[in-house]
């Protein structure tokens, strides 16, 4: 079992990673476990003790204030205290809701995250960002609140359906492309199946992603110094793709589309050389994704701009766009929204 500790504003976040990591929870008491309804059997086979449970419906539709209120209600009715535990057992949807509820109930109760999707193991469970969608805008309400523990049980990876693997690979590709040349080479030298069938390789993959993300989070927890902005590579256009598709295109796949289009944009503006785009194309292809823009466009490209305009990270006129300057080396460019709009075909 591997353990990593990160010092953040509220204290230490400990990450426990390995086969059977969930057993580190022991016999629970004074805990409320939030999980997606479809995972009821999984949660109850892994969690022991006298915890209370709250199941929420699956998927993005649950990321609402109504669900947060449901959780808060259960916490109040159950008379949970600040040192009680709220445990998120599920993917990013559940941890985004749980983290938000944990941060506002009694101004913050103990929060533990058990990610069960590849995407949440490598990204969503870490870093303290949480939130819900509101008035059609993704993650517009939320707080920063890191779990005290994140328990990444690698045995879950082998039981995970293929679509969840593919989705997580989207975020993994992001780390490899913009931050981590060693991870990029590791991915290029192994197929995804080879990695996931081998416990040592799986742990190497997850550990690199944990370190890639948490090293940046530790330096810029509240996303104010431009350091953490690097993690947004592929997400400006990626979030817009996801929203325009009505969330029928998954987050990880949308991030791949976003990486390709944002890099194409950067090449068209002379911000990076075409070699960078070529290398990203090779990585994406090796990971089994298409490099054709149309495969990521759920509608006319100019319609993406309305979602980009509501991006939390934009000002009225500009946007910080992270791009790999060279493979694995990031730079953050300040770009005019109008120039992205032009690129997407919306000439005004």
Ligand X SMILES: NC(=O)c1ccc[n+]([C@@H]2O[C@H](COP(=O)([O-])OP(=O)(O)OC[C@H]3O[C@@H](n4cnc5c(N)ncnc54)[C@H](O)[C@@H]3O)[C@@H](O)[C@H]2O)c1
Dist CA 260 CA 268 (whole Å): 12
CA distances from 65 to 61, 72, 94, 133, 300 (A): 11, 10, 13, 8, 30
**Binder among 46, 251, 253, 277 for ligand X (CB under 6 A):** 251
Which residue lies nearer to ligand X by CB, 148 or 318? Answer: 148
Separation of alpha carbons 45 and 20, rounded Å:
12
Name the residue with the smallest CB distance to ligand X: 92
CA 158: distance to chain centroid?
Answer: 20
Determine the Cα–Cα distance for residues 235 and 177; give it in Å rounded to an integer.
13
- Which one of 14-22, 90-98, 217-225, 300-308 is the stretch in contact with ligand X (CB under 6 A)? 90-98
Six-digit token pair at 102?
């944990």
Question: Of these, 18, 36, 234, 322, which contacts ligand X (CB under 6 A)?
Answer: 36
Q: Which listed range, 111-119, 276-284, 301-309, 312-320, lies at the site for ligand X (CB under 6 A)?
A: 111-119
Least Å distance, CB 92 to ligand X, is: 2
CA count, 13 A, side-chain hemisphere, 12: 6
The first and second tokens of residue 34, run together, are 């939030």
Kindly state the number of chain residues that form the binding site for ligand X, as judged by CB under 6 A.
29
On the CB side of 2, CA atoms within 13 Å amount to 16
Least distance to ligand X from the beta carbon of 345, Å?
A: 26
Contacts (CB under 6 A) with ligand X, residues 124-163 = 124, 127, 129-130, 139, 156, 160-161
Among 25, 39, 230, 321, interactor with ligand X by CB under 6 A: 39
Per CB under 6 A, the list member of 167, 212, 223, 262 interacting with ligand X is 167
Q: Distance (Å, rounded) from C-alpha 129 to C-alpha 267? A: 30
Considering beta carbons, is residue 84 or 117 the nearer one to ligand X?
Answer: 117
Question: Is-contact 91 121, C-beta < 8 A?
Answer: no
* Binding to ligand X in span 41-70, by CB under 6 A: 58-60, 63
From the CB of 315, what's the least distance to ligand X, in Å? 22
139 sits in the region (left: phi over 0; alpha: psi -120 to 50; else beta) called left
The binding site for ligand X (CB under 6 A) comprises 36, 38-39, 58-60, 63, 90-94, 96, 116-117, 119-120, 123-124, 127, 129-130, 139, 156, 160-161, 164, 167, 251
């Amino acid at each position: 079992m591997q353990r990593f500790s990160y010092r953040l504003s509220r204290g230490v976040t400990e990450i426990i990673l390995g086969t059977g990591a969930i057993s580190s929870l022991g016999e629970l008491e004074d805990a409320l476990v939030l999980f997606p309804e479809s995972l009821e059997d999984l949660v109850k086979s892994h969690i022991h003790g006298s915890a209370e449970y709250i199941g929420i419906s699956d998927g993005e539709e649950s990321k609402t204030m109504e669900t947060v209120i449901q959780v808060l209600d259960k916490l109040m009715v159950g008379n949970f205290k600040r040192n009680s535990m709220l445990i998120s057992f599920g993917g990013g949807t559940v941890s985004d809701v749980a983290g938000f509820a944990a941060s506002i109930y009694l101004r913050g109760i103990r929060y533990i995250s058990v990610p069960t999707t590849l995407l949440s193991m490598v990204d969503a469970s870490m870093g303290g960002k949480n939130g819900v969608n509101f008035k059609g805008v993704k993650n517009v309400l939320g707080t920063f609140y890191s779990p005290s523990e994140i328990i990444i049980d690698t045995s879950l990876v082998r039981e995970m359906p293929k679509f969840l693997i593919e989705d997580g690979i989207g975020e993994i590709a992001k780390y490899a492309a913009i931050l981590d040349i060693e991870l990029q080479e590791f991915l290029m030298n192994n197929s995804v199946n080879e990695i996931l069938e081998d416990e040592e390789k799986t742990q190497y993959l997850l550990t690199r992603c944990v370190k890639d993300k948490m090293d940046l989070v530790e330096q810029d927890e509240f996303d104010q110094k431009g350091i953490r902005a690097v993690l947004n590579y592929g997400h400006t256009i990626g979030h817009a793709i996801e929203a325009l598709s009505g969330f029928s295109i998954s987050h990880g796949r949308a991030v791949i589309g976003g990486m390709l289009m944002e890099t194409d944009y950067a090449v068209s503006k002379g911000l990076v050389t075409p070699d960078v785009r070529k290398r990203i194309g090779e990585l994406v292809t090796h990971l089994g994704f298409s490099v054709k823009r149309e495969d990521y466009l759920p509608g006319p490209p100019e319609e993406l701009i309305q979602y980009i305009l509501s991006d939390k990270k934009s000002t009225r006129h500009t946007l910080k766009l992270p791009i790999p300057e060279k493979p694995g080396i990031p730079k953050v460019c300040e770009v005019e929204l109008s120039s992205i709009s032009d690129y997407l075909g919306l000439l005004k």
